[in-house]
A = this chain, B = another copy of it.
Amino acid sequence: MASQTEENYLKTLFNLANDKNEVNISELAAQMQVSMPTVNSMVKTLQKNDWLIYEKYKPVILTQKGKKEAALIIRKHRLTEMFLVNKMGFGWEEVHEIAEQVEHIHAPKFFERMDEMMGFPTIDPHGSPIPDKQGRIQEINYLTLSKCKAGQTVILAALTNSSTEFLEFLNSRELSLGTELTINSVENYDQSMVATYVGHTSETLSEKVCERLLVRVIG
């Protein structure tokens, strides 16, 4: 059974994997906030459990087993976040830290009950998909708001970044998942957008913000 530390590495590896499924030691060290030698020794450990493939001086690659293990931890994380928001009244900006701990609880029934109580949700409070019990993730392809054009109407569906600061910014603008926005205009100089949505007329959103908003175009 994976230790808490190993579980956190697996999750991070899963999230950092590029199109070739590769992760560099330096990236992993940066993300985990540990030194490269620490990562070097950890990937050797993870390899012994067949969770990844490691060859000297090469980026590491999660195996199928490793990907499944990671997805199941992510499942517990996201179910927890959704439970905290939907059943316990937390704000979407408060739940990540708690889920970071709860995801390591070994008690399948605990998470199954959460799932049942919520009616088997498929996304978490930040719009990210919840992997199923087999560790499969449904790929959803949303568009970044910054890719949209003036005149379009979109629905905010997910976020590319869920830091507390960003979530608090969105709270301050009363932007939440499901909000319908109409793009009034796009400023050519800095790519900032002016949008209208429930309760807000001509709200300006910087490019930095628009890049982090994932939307479904509806008109």
What is A's interface to B at a CB cutoff of 8 Å?
A: 84, 87-90, 94, 97-98, 101-102, 105-107, 109-110, 113-114, 117
* Chain B residue nearest in CB terms to A98: B107
* Chain B residue nearest in CB terms to A4: B4
Output the least CB separation between A98 and chain B (Å): 5
Known pairs A88-B113, A90-B113; A101 contacts B97 (CB<8 A): no
Output the least CB separation between A73 and chain B (Å): 15
Query: CB-CB < 8 A to A88: which residues of B?
Result: 110, 113-114, 117
A105 touches B98 (CB 8 A): yes
- Sample of 7 more A-B contacts, CB < 8 Å, known A84-B110, A101-B106: A87-B87, A88-B113, A88-B114, A88-B117, A89-B113, A98-B110, A102-B105
* Chain B residue nearest in CB terms to A116: B89
Query: CB-CB < 8 A to A97: which residues of B?
Result: 107
Output the least CB separation between A37 and chain B (Å): 24
Query: CB-CB < 8 A to A105: which residues of B?
Result: 98, 101-102
Query: Pick the contact of A109 from B94, B113, B114, B117 — CB < 8 Å?
Result: B94
Output the least CB separation between A96 and chain B (Å): 11
Closest 4 CB pairs of A and B: A98-B107, A88-B113, A101-B105, A98-B110
**Most chain B beta-carbon contacts within 10 A, residue among A89, A98, A107, A117:** A107
Output the least CB separation between A139 and chain B (Å): 31
* Chain B residue nearest in CB terms to A97: B107
* Chain B residue nearest in CB terms to A105: B101
Output the least CB separation between A104 and chain B (Å): 8
Query: CB-CB < 8 A to A98: which residues of B?
Result: 105, 107, 109-110
Query: CB-CB < 8 A to A101: which residues of B?
Result: 105-107
